[in-house]
Structure formats: C-alpha cells, structure tokens
Amino acid sequence: MAPSAITTELTNGSSVGATLSDNRPRILVPEKVSAEGLALLQELYNVDTRKGLTADELINIIPAYQGLIVRSETKVTAAVLAAGQKLRVVARAGVGVDNIDVDAATGNGIIVVNSPSGNIVAAAEHTVALLLAVARNVGRADATLKAGLWERSKLVGVEVGRKTLGIIGLGKVGMKVARMAIGLGMRVTALDPYASPDMARQAGVQLVPALADLLPVVDFLTIHTPLLASTLNLLGEPELQRMKPTARVLNVARGGVYNEDALLKALDEGWIAGAGLDVFTAEPPKPGSAAARLAAHPKVVSTPHLGASTVEAQENVSMDVCTQVLEILRGGLPTAAVNAPLILPEEYRRLQPYVRLIERMGSLYTQHFAGGRAGGMIGGRRFELVYRGELAGISNTRPLFAALVKGLVSSISDAGGRDVNIVNATIIARERGIAIDEKHVRDDAAGGSVVTTYASLVTLRSRGPKDPEATPPSSPAAQPEQQQQPQHQAEEEQVIEGYVSGKAIFISKLDRFAANFHPAGTLLILHNYDEPGKIGYVGGVLGGHGVNISFMQVAGLNDAAAAVAAVPAAAAVDDGPLLLGGGGHKAREALMILGVDGEVTQDVLDDLRKAEGILDVSLVKL
C-alpha cells in the first residue's frame, strides 16, 4: 500500500500538498478520494482538496488547474470544461462518467479517464448482498426489530439456491456476479449481445438472444450495463409485467436503467415481489419523487450508492486514476481513456517504446529539416507514418499518431508539446495544417524497405513544397546532379526511419543517409562532402568553443554498401581518411552526426559552416 498523502489545511478550509509550489501543475480534487492514490501525485504536482464547491465556484477556480479528479457528485459540465483552459485530464474515481460531459471534454482536447476494474469485486459483492437481503427481508427485519417489534411470521423469505438469476450485461461485474451466484447454487441466464459464448459456457452461464426470452424465467434479475440511450428505461411497465410475480430485481449499476415510475407501480400492483436498489436517477433522491418513494418502499432494500464503497475499492480506483493522471501529465498513455481507444496494459507495454521513438522522430524532423522555425516545413506538408513488421498488426495506433504530432510541434510551441494528447492530437494537427496518413504494411517487400534486422520498423515520410529558407547554402563543390535539377521543381520528400531494440530506440535512416544512432540529448548534424580533414576541422571548432563530443557517426548515402561507420569521440580530432567509398571525391555526400555536451551557440554553428564542403549544420535537442 502506498503511504498516505500528506496535506495541510488552507485558511479557506481546503487542503493542498504540503510542498506547494506555484510553478508546479495543479490538480483539483473536489470530493473525497483515497489518500493512497493522491500520494502518487504530490511529489510532482500541487493537489488541492476542496470539498463542497458549488457549480459557480468550480467554474471560477478551474482555470488554474491542469487536472481534475472527481467521483460521482461533482458535475463536470461543458461550462466547467470550457473554463478549464489549462485542463488536460479529468479523472473519474470509479466506473460511470454520467456526471462528465465527455463530448465537451473531447471537443476541448481533454482526456477523460476512469477506473473500470477498480471496484469490480465490491460491486459484485454488493449485488449478492442485496440479492440475499431482498430474498430474506433483511432490511425490514432489521428495522422492525430495532423498533421493538418481533414479526417473524411476516418476514418469511425465499431461498436462492436452485433459483434462476438473470443478468443483463455480462461484463466484468456481471461475470463476477454470475460466478458468485453459481457458488450459491443458482442457475444463471444472461443477455449480452457482445458476450463471448465460449466464455459464458465455460463459466456455466446460459446466454439468451432477447429480453423476451429472459424475463419470464428468472427469479432474480440484475443489470450491469452503462447508462446509455439504449439502456435508459430499459425495463418499463411492459417488461416488468412479463416477469414472475415472485421475481425480485436488483440494481447496483446506474439509476435509470429501470423506469422508476414503472418499478414503483410494479411493486404496488404485485407484478414483482421486491427490489434491491443501490442507485437512483437523482442522488440523493428528491423528496416526493419516484426514487424517494422506492427507497422508502416496504418491498425494497435500499442503500445509498454503496456498490463501490469498500476500503479496498476506494484504494484501488484512487490508485488507478491517479496513476493515469500522473502518466498523462508526464506525456504518457492512459490505460482507460473514456474518449479514446482503450489501451490495455499489454498494448501499453508494446506501444510505449514506439511512442518515444515516433515522438523523437517528429521532433528530429522539425529541428533538422525545418530548422525549428515556427510553421517552416511543417504546415501544409503531407506526412505519412508507415508501420512495418509486428507493429503493422496493431490496430490501435492513436497513441503513435499523437506522439508524432507532439514531436512535430514540440520545438515550435510554447508548451513544448506537453499539451498534445491522444484526444486532441487530430485537432492540433488540423489547426497547424499538418496532414498525417497512417499505413500498415504487412508485406514488407511491397513497402520498399524490407524488415530483416528489426521486428518492427517505422518510417516517417514527408512531402510538400520546398522551403527556400531550408535550402543548404551553395558550395563550390556542388554535385553535377544538383546543378542539372530543373529550377521549377517545387516539391520534395524527406524520410526518417527508426526501430526499437529492447527498450532502446534508434534512427536507422535520415533522409537519403543510412544511420544508426540513439536520438537523445544534444545532436549536431552536418551535411557535408565526404573528404579528408572534415572530422579534424569539426573537432577543432568544437574543442575551441569548449564543446565536448560524446559520440560521432558518419552516415553515408543509403545506396552505398557499409554506409555507416561509428567513430569514437577520441578519434574526432584525427585527420585520417574516414571515407565511405567516395575516395575523397567531393561529389560523395555524407552526414556527420555528433552527440555533444556543452552550449552550442550561434558562433559555433557559424564557424562550422565556414568550412568548404559543409553544406548545412542543424542543431537538434531531444
């Protein structure tokens, strides 16, 4: 168990992480959330716990926060989300998100996460508790005994063994309830068009195709579905009239799946024998409403939304959503985003290194090809992400798409790309005029580069108008091929390829040059003619400015055999011939890629560009 969060009381009655810093992102928690999860956040963020906020107060203070963690009471409306200009994530410490305007969050590029698994056991156990309580009149028995009465003869119940339990929604909670009910000796019949027949059969559950096949045969009925347009008022008067008069219904899912007026009538008219209710359309029920009358009905065992109210469940959901908030604010992936494709843990582990690779590829593109100029070589260009090998078989690539957008804009945005996530990546790309296509190539031979060395290969290809500002300076040693190119050519293509080895990421191709380097730290990339003296000159310039070389690599044209040679830093001042088949001929181009430590100023770049045969120099910080 994580250590409890340390908080301090503010003068206005709220509490905040003890190490408050105005420079750290802030997270608002307007409801009680287990301290074990909040402790995960307080090392990096300011966590403000402010209970009892009105709707207007929430709108007034939300502009200062990057994260919002709620349970079921706080209404996260479109107005709240519009006011939260800094908001990047809204987390629901639980399953249902009825209290969050998910569409408005998506429109504002805000990720909504929940904890679909944290309270499975608690919800299932509470369902069985209500089942037994309504079968044996536990609620009425307790109330009458506390009132000094002894009414044994009026409280005769029924056994649940050998009875039929009907389940609508055979998801994680529904399946858990089914297994518990079978353990009590019950027969279980279920309705779920998305359930696996094999899994149901293995669990001992009989699936039926329609509601009409389920209702007449069950002795107990429980529903475990989200509240959607298709499930709102799922059981009304016609459905309840089809049930046995001895049947009892349960609801530990969402208020509204039963029509409350119809359920009240069914109990009063004797269409069914009883109900166990944990959730209502309005919580707490409004006085005089159908929900309030149901809660007070003698045939109903009612509880105040306790389905997830166990110590263990509260710790689980808190740890779950706080871990996701932590990952999102650090630029990572959520595991249960409501408004984005669900990322399973195994997918997360597979995708995470490629997320880092593609983000670095995007940042490398902007800094190397566009020189980091805002808008230069980015807006108006067409990008293509090509996945080859094992990666081509992954259908959920939205995290990879978002990683590319984040990388492309990171060096030219005030937020450094930290505002890009899997929800708003498409919006940001559209705003910046970036068109991105994704291509899955399972037949590697058809895709150009054949994946032989790597399990997966990622290619980033860009096409668009030539940027005159990015054209390398002319050189006396210009290639004949370059001189013969038609002047009216206005479009060009640039390519970056990369791969993952273990947890390490590598660039294997940069434009026309074969390479093999780790995209990290400060890099100097020199486009030059491969001839003796270049390495010594570069080493001398950097040494003269106090810049140390940590590694160096020369990348040759991609069509040259043995195109890449790695050079130790100690050899960087050696004037010896490091040639890639060019024999010193100035028409042979190469890239010199250096990892450097120290400040690379404009004077350093200017001195490097002075040498004859150095066509261009780019500074890349990754």
Q: At what angle do helices 120-135 and 172-183 cross, to 10 degrees?
A: 50
Looking at residue 94, what is its pLDDT?
86
3-state DSSP helix/strand/coil % of the chain, to nearest 5: 35, 25, 45
- pLDDT average, residue stretch 71-91: 94
Mean of all residue pLDDT scores within the chain: 83
pLDDT, one tens digit per residue, over 183-192 is: 999 999 999 8
HEC assignment per residue over 368-401:
HHCCCCCCCCCCCCEEEEEEEEHHHHCCCCHHHH
Looking at residue 560, what is its pLDDT?
41
Q: Which two tokens stand for residue 143?
A: 């109330």
> What 8-state DSSP symbol labels residue 474?
P
Is it the case that residue 452 has pLDDT exceeding 60? Answer: no
With beta carbons less than 8 A apart as the criterion, state whether 306 and 122 touch: no
pLDDT band at 333 (very low <50, low <70, confident <90, very high): confident
- pLDDT average, residue stretch 287-312: 94
With beta carbons less than 8 A apart as the criterion, state whether 44 and 67 touch: no
d(CA 62, CA 200): 45
d(CA 577, CA 420): 46
Looking at residue 109, what is its pLDDT?
83
As to burial, measured by CB atoms within 10 angstroms (0-12 exposed, 13-18 middle, 19+ buried), residue 369 is: buried
Q: Which two tokens stand for residue 542?
A: 């950097």
- pLDDT average, residue stretch 368-380: 61
Is it the case that residue 17 has pLDDT exceeding 60? Answer: no
Domains of the chain: 7-118+313-329 (3.40.50.720), 120-302 (3.40.50.720), 344-469+494-511 (3.30.1330.90), 520-622 (3.30.70.260)
pTM of the model: 0.59
pLDDT, one tens digit per residue, over 392-429 is: 888 888 889 988 998 888 877 666 666 677 777 888 88
Residues forming beta bridges with residue 435, ordered by sequence position: 382
Residue 365 dihedral angles phi and psi, to the nearest 5°? -60, -55
Is it the case that residue 62 has pLDDT exceeding 90? Answer: yes
Looking at residue 15, what is its pLDDT?
42
pLDDT, one tens digit per residue, over 130-180 is: 999 999 999 999 999 999 999 999 999 999 999 999 999 998 899 999 999
d(CA 402, CA 415): 15
* Candidate from 339-348, 353-362, 406-415, 613-622 with smallest mean pLDDT: 339-348
Q: Are strands 15-17 and 7-9 parallel, antiparallel or unpaired?
A: antiparallel
With beta carbons less than 8 A apart as the criterion, state whether 322 and 37 touch: yes
pLDDT band at 116 (very low <50, low <70, confident <90, very high): confident
Residue 410 dihedral angles phi and psi, to the nearest 5°? -60, -40
Show which residues are catalytic. Answer: 254, 283, 305
d(CA 222, CA 226): 13
Looking at residue 22, what is its pLDDT?
61
- pLDDT average, residue stretch 515-542: 90
pLDDT, one tens digit per residue, over 470-522 is: 444 433 333 434 444 444 445 788 999 999 998 899 999 999 999 999 999 99
Looking at residue 394, what is its pLDDT?
85
Is it the case that residue 2 has pLDDT exceeding 80? Answer: no
Place of tokens 């696996």: 196
b/e 38-62 (16+ beta carbons within 10 angstroms → b)? bbbbbebbbbbbbeebeeeebbebb
- pLDDT average, residue stretch 577-595: 61
Is it the case that residue 337 has pLDDT exceeding 70? Answer: yes
CB atoms within 10 A of CB 292: 17
d(CA 267, CA 275): 8
pLDDT top residue among 485 and 543 = 543
Task: Report CA 217 to chain centroid distance, whole Å.
Answer: 42
pLDDT top residue among 416 and 304 = 304
DSSP state letters, 582-609: STT-TT-EEEEEEEEES---HHHHHHHH
Looking at residue 588, what is its pLDDT?
84
Q: Is the dihedral of CA 24, 619, 498, 380 positive or negative?
A: positive
pLDDT band at 250 (very low <50, low <70, confident <90, very high): very high
d(CA 586, CA 138): 93
CB atoms within 10 A of CB 342: 12
- pLDDT average, residue stretch 539-549: 91
